[in-house]
Chains A and B, each alone.
Chain A
Amino acid sequence: MALFKAAYTIFLKDMTVEYRTRERLTTMLIFSVIVLIVFNFAFNFGGMAVQRIAPGMMWTAFVFSGMLGVNRSFAPEKDRGTLDGLLLAPVDRSAIYLGKLFGNLLLIGLIEVITLPLFALFLNLPLLPYVDRLTVVLGLGAIGFAAIGTLFAAVSANSGMREVMLPILLLPVVSPVLIAGVETTTIVFRDGTWEEMSRWLRLLGAFTVVFVVASVVLFDHIVEE
């Protein structure tokens, strides 16, 4: 319990900073809207079956804007030298990881909640009938993505070429999440059943469990000097 209390404290600290600056949320939001617009130009899908393209667009927008947000979860701490302070705190280091993970999850979740209606609006896509299934898919996907993203953000924050390193490390490893996410969302948009989605959801669920646990265990090795 002490672990989660410490994680919550770190989460609150991060969110207070975010509330005052709003720099991560704003950049992520603008970026996902830009992705939406770029896709619109790139594919120019007037009259094409939008249901087939929408899942890929949504996931691309979430993954790329998520990467922006995740990247900023450790980089500023490193720049200001406050990471050392955090590491000196008399708490289990997993708490730092979990706190950062919760923060990243909240931001990605917010982006999804704000961007989805925009997708619905711009792509002329009805979302309301699918809300329940979309919530599960996007939620699981976000956790899987953020679990590894948070860990690799701690790695790339220590690298001289940080912004460049994160996507190269992160994208291949989270590719199963991306594949499963797009596939499941496609099933959702053709009004598929839970039955059809179940094996993908199990894959996402297993991925989430394995990588959250692995990251909690391995985080200690990442931050030690």
Chain B
Amino acid sequence: MASSSRYRFSPLGLLCLCGFVVSLYLALVWAPPERVMGNIQRIMYFHVATAWVAELAFVLVGLASVVYLWRRERDWDILAHASAEIGFLFCTFVMITGPLWGKPVWGTWWTWDPRLTFSMILWLIYVAYLMLRAYGNDMPQVKQFLAVLGILGTLDIPFIHFATMWWRGLHPETLTMREEGFGSGMEREMLIALLVSAITFTLMFFYLMGRRMALERMRDEVETLRERIETRLEG
């Protein structure tokens, strides 16, 4: 049994840990305070990094769903499931760090700005997906339903994006993605801190994915073992 290795600190996990130490230092100490917002701005390093992971996870749900419908291998369903759960976690984090920053800077916890609205809708689709997972056990084809929902949700992203963007705007212009080139609107230190933070959160996402998928596979294993015991007891 290879199960003992599951409990050791994996190299990826260690890398994540180091990444977080470095990111925290870069974001909280090394990067200069923002001219207008001061130290409050520092939450951005975590807010933007988690927002990126939340969207990455969502796209991953869609891709895994497509492959699942095509190949019908349990692993792809597990991948979509894990990605949705962890993506939901990150999306929730985005929804918490946003208002924390918004209150002192905008003077309000919440406003119906395109990006906030976008995150909210994304979050709700994650909720729908996970609810269908949680309460769909009575349905024999629940895995296909989930895959279809995952695909439709991913196809929906550009539409939600444009609909909310045209609807209204207040969010600070994203300084990393301006026309003058990547990161041109930012101090170099800030940009580096943001990139390191984004990489760290991405690594953590994959680390959590590995753990979550291993857990799901163990559940499957337990299920088959239980079934085997039951048939033996009956027989």
Report which A residues bind B (CB closer than 8 A): 148, 151, 155, 158-161, 165, 168-169, 171-173, 175-176, 179-180, 183, 199-200, 203, 206-207, 210-211, 214, 218, 221-222, 224-225
Instruction: Say whether, besides A158-B145, A168-B127, A169-B149, A199 and B138 are in contact (CB < 8 Å).
Output: no
Contact status B125-A214, CB under 8 Å: no
Instruction: Say whether, besides A222-B144, A222-B145, A172 and B138 are in contact (CB < 8 Å).
Output: no
Q: Which of B3-11, B129-137, B203-211 contacts its partner?
A: B129-137
Interface centre among A175, A211, A222 (most CB of B within 10 A): A175
Picked from B135, B159, B167, the residue with its CB within 8 Å of the CB of A207 is B159
Contact status B145-A214, CB under 8 Å: no
- B174 proximal to A (CB < 8 A): no
Q: Which residue of chain B lies nearest to A170 when distances are taken between CB atoms in the complex?
A: B128
Report A67 CB to chain B, min CB distance, Å.
14
The B contact surface, by secondary structure, is helix
> Can you give 23 contacting A-B residue pairs, CB < 8 Å?
A151-B152, A155-B148, A158-B139, A158-B140, A160-B139, A165-B131, A169-B149, A172-B121, A172-B125, A175-B160, A175-B163, A176-B156, A176-B159, A176-B160, A176-B162, A183-B166, A203-B166, A210-B155, A210-B159, A214-B151, A221-B147, A222-B144, A225-B140
Q: Once the chains are docked, how many angstroms separate the CA of A172 from the CA of B138?
A: 23
Contact status A161-B163, CB under 8 Å: no
Which bracket fits the contact residues of B? 20 to 34
Contact status A222-B131, CB under 8 Å: no
Residues of B within 8 A of A175 (CB): 121, 160, 163
